Structure 1
């Protein structure tokens, strides 16, 4: 299963055929329908519809279509409906003219002083009636399915790129963890040698009242205490475990964004602990480099569904 980004864009257009009266046959009148979908990252699925008034009734069907395929992201869908009649006026159907004439007669029978309908009035009313009687819902759903498919393709392509980048970052983190592991025993030996040198110097200044064995035991105790304080083996183990789980999720794919976000928090916690236990400048540098990589991962994980 693929990893999907929440960022994507798709736009499609179509010219659906219209059901026209027989008197309109051959006039080549169509309407251009366009669907545009764009999405960005969000904690939840947030849908926003921008539909012309003629297509408001299609919103529930569009919502069902999108929620069936998308789980997270701020998604905006825009629909446009434009006339594409080539600039020519369409002759009103004879049935429409009869209906308008009958309505005019009825009005003037009650209001004799009412003005007669002009040619412009008739053309405008006939165009409005024809526009309102045609239902583009089926055409819109077909086009929306194609736009959604293109959006998912774009999100999958971006998700694949993100997953590859994250795998590279986890490999770098794993290398840093491996470099930190042998530093601790080396630090312990160095600190032990320093303790022994200090106790040797202290013994040289005493009057012999302190036994050399006691001084050596104290130095070894101090070195052991130091080793316990700077031991980062547990942090390295947990960090490595989190990295393995991140790699597994990225390889498995699916809806992994929220789980990855949690693991990134855990990685950051372990890197902080490693830095606080640092007993040398080298180990401090390792901790800082880890935090930089973890922050880069965190920023990109915000875009994964």
Structure 2
């Protein structure tokens, strides 16, 4: 199964002490480039998180962020107040009030905002890391599933274009003998209009040159071979984005050769349609892992 590199996953879990929220975003990239936004107390998890990413993903720019929200009244008790620091802060505030001769009372809410006055309930850091890691695994699985669903849609899109290219290729193959015969007839008619003395040998040489110039059987055969290979890669799945991108370059090369050898507008138009279809596939393949 092929995977897209563009996806998003979010998972949250509730606990006695509060909640955890993981968000993972991924976009297309030549290589796997993970980045993590973690609370300082959880930084020790980063190496293990990177390893789990490498085991599940091959390519993409992946941004992972973890939010930890503690709540009052958790399993470790209520929020606590640093009474010693609070007493010092009140004493300092009263001194300032006396100097300013301001009788206004100190605002308790402002005091609580002072750094270090309030402290969160302590939580077992090992347990917290274990819960965060378990939730990350679930979020990563969701991301992979999302990438696979989008990859299936991309595969269907590409297969539709492959079918159309196959029909165009077959039509050109079928028309090629008639095209060469029509060119031969056209050349003969022009010579007759000029009332020139026809030299059978010279005419045959001109037709050989024309046939060589217009001979695109090899290009059409290679187009068929590349189409077969693209379908094989799509069926095999896995991390196939780079291989598919290479095959798009090969398909485009054959389409360009077909266009340069064209001697009638029908073949030129077919080559243009091929290049449009190939470019549409190439744009989508840029998102495939």
Give TM-score, length-normalised by structure 2: 0.83
Pick one of 43, 53, 67 that aligns with 2:30: 43
Indicate the residue corresponding to 2:225 in structure 1. 241
Q: 1:205 to 1:52 in 2, by over 3 A?
A: closer
Give the distance between the partners of 1:266 and 1:14, measured in 2 at CA: 49
Are 1:41 and 1:73, in contact at CA under 8 Å, matched by a contact in 2?
yes
User: What's the counterpart of residue 71 of structure 1?
Assistant: 58
Give the C-alpha shift of residue 140 in structure 1.
0.7
- Contact 2:6-2:147 at 8 Å conserved across structures: yes
Query: Please, which of 152, 165, 185 is the counterpart of residue 193 of structure 1?
Result: 185
* Residues 236 and 128 of structure 1: CA distance in aligned 2, closer, same or farther (over 3 Å): same
Does 2:155 match 1:163? yes
Question: Which has the larger displacement, 284-293 or 60-69?
Answer: 60-69
Residue among 233, 238, 243 paired with 1:259: 243
| Residue number in structure 1 paired with 2:144 | 152
1:266-277 to 2 correspondence within 5 Å?
266-277=250-261
Three-state SS of the structure 1 residue aligned to 2:23 is strand
Alignment partner of 1:284 out of 259, 264, 268: 268
Q: CA deviation at 1:86?
A: 6.6
Match of 2:132 in 1: 140
Structure 2 residue 165 is matched with structure 1 residue 177: no
Partner residue, 1:127 = 119
Deviations 1:2-37 (A, max 9, x none): 1111111110011234xxxxxxxxxxxx12111000
Query: Cα gap change, 1:91/1:249 in structure 2, threshold over 3 Å: closer, same or farther?
Result: closer
Deviation of 1:126 (Å): 7.1
Q: Whole-Å Cα distance in 2 between the matches of residues 200 and 164 of structure 1? A: 54
CA contact (8 A) 1:16 1:32 kept: yes
TM-score relative to the length of structure 1: 0.79
Give me the CA root mean square deviation.
Answer: 2.9
Give, in whole Å, the separation in 2 of the partners of 1:205 and 1:257.
Answer: 59
- 1:183–1:283: 8 Å Cα contact kept in structure 2? no
Q: Does 1:222 align with 2:209?
A: no
Cα deviation, 1:260-300, whole Å, max 9, x if unaligned, reads: 00000000010000000000011110000001000000000
Question: In 1, are the aligned partners of 2:13 and 2:19 still within 8 Å (CA)?
Answer: yes
Residue 191 of structure 1, CA deviation: 1.8
Map Cα deviations across residues 158-182 of structure 1 (whole Å, 9 max, x no partner). 0001001101110100111011112
* Count of residues in correspondence between the two structures: 266
1:294 corresponding residue in structure 2: 278
